[in-house]
Amino acid sequence: MKVVRNIRQSINKRISSAKAMASESTAIPSNLKDIDADVPDLQNQLPPAPERPSHPNFNVILPPDDPVYGKWNVFLAGSIEMGNAIQWQKHMYKYLNHLPITLCNPRRGRWDPNVTGAAKDAAFNHQVTWELNALTKSDVVCFFFDTTTKSPVTMLELGLWAHSGKVVVCCGDTFWKAGNIHIVCERYNIPFVEKFEDLPALVVKMLGEKGLEEAAKETADKESKKTPEGKGDGSEKTKL
């Protein structure tokens, strides 16, 4: 009996030790900030998202993992603000998950706030390089400006890619630099909307224009419903 009791005690200790190790591996270290935490949408910028099954070839890639791009790639180039921006990226997943595309989301789950932001800092350099590579690889670059943020990096990226012909933008008129964003979009003929609910359609339309058949069909179906005869010509343009 004593031997059996000792064996049980040994097993229980091992189980407790394993549980403790598992807990430590999943907990967020105290020196890291959870960039992926939920943020209250106090300005009601995000409408209810649709619920539908994902396409077998729908995928999401995030840093710091090495990206595995798909045939069609969309970069979510919008407000993050060290995790203070609303979770618009995950919200966008639900609007686009029915398509065979890869979403490149730079909003990594955990980040060390002590990273200096210097080019020589390895972690910072890796993050910026990951984003630049994904921006280059993507077929569509989707910008969303959270009106409660400053988003200087997002504005920088818009400036870099405004002339590329692969950008769509959502920026409400209460964003602190909305005027600048609107003028840039007008100058470079960038598809532009002020509400998030209209942004997914811009992404889908541009994917269709670039050759994604599923996206082209979806856009054609929507535009055909805009006229009484059901013959939309697809000539509608977003106005500032």
Give the DSSP per-residue string, 38-75: ----TT--SPPPP--PPPTT-EEE-TTSPP---SSEEE
Q: Which domain holds residue 198?
A: 52-224
Contact yes or no for 124/45 (Cβ under 8 A): no
Domain contains 116: yes
Tell me if 235 is assigned to some domain.
no
Structural contact between residues 26 and 71, judged by C-beta atoms closer than 8 angstroms: no
Q: Strand 140-145 to strand 110-111: parallel, antiparallel, or no bridges (unpaired)?
A: unpaired
pLDDT of residue 109: 72
Least confident of 15-19, 22-26, 206-210, 221-225: 22-26
Confidence (pTM): 0.81
- Give the whole-angstrom CA distance, residue 129 versus residue 169: 22
- Specify if 142 maps to a domain: yes
Q: Does residue 187 belong to any structural domain of this protein? A: yes
Whether the pLDDT of residue 12 is over 60: the answer is no
Q: Which residue has the tokens 């959870």?
A: 34
Handedness of CA 224, 96, 58, 50 (dihedral sign): negative
> 30 falls in which pLDDT band (50, 70, 90)?
low
pLDDT band at 123 (very low <50, low <70, confident <90, very high): confident
User: Does residue 11 lie in a domain region?
Assistant: no
Radius of gyration, alpha carbons of the chain: 22
Lowest-confidence range among 83-92, 147-156, 192-201, 224-233?
224-233
6 falls within a domain: no
Residue 33's pLDDT is 80
State how far the Cα of 77 lies from the Cα of 190, in Å rounded to an integer. Answer: 14
For residue 5, being part of any structural domain is answered with: no
Nearest to 144 by CA among 214, 187, 197: 197
State CA 154 to chain mean position distance. Answer: 12
Pull the structure tokens for residue 162. Answer: 């405004």
Could you give the CA distance from residue 237 to residue 189 in angstroms, rounded to a whole number?
10
Asked if residue 97 has pLDDT above 80, the reply is yes
CATH code for position 215: 3.40.50.450
Instruction: Give pLDDT tens digits for 203-212.
Output: 999 999 999 9
> For the chain, what is the domain count?
1
pLDDT at 48 over 80: yes
- Asked whether residue 73 is assigned to any structural domain, the reply reads yes
pLDDT of 102 > 60? The answer is yes
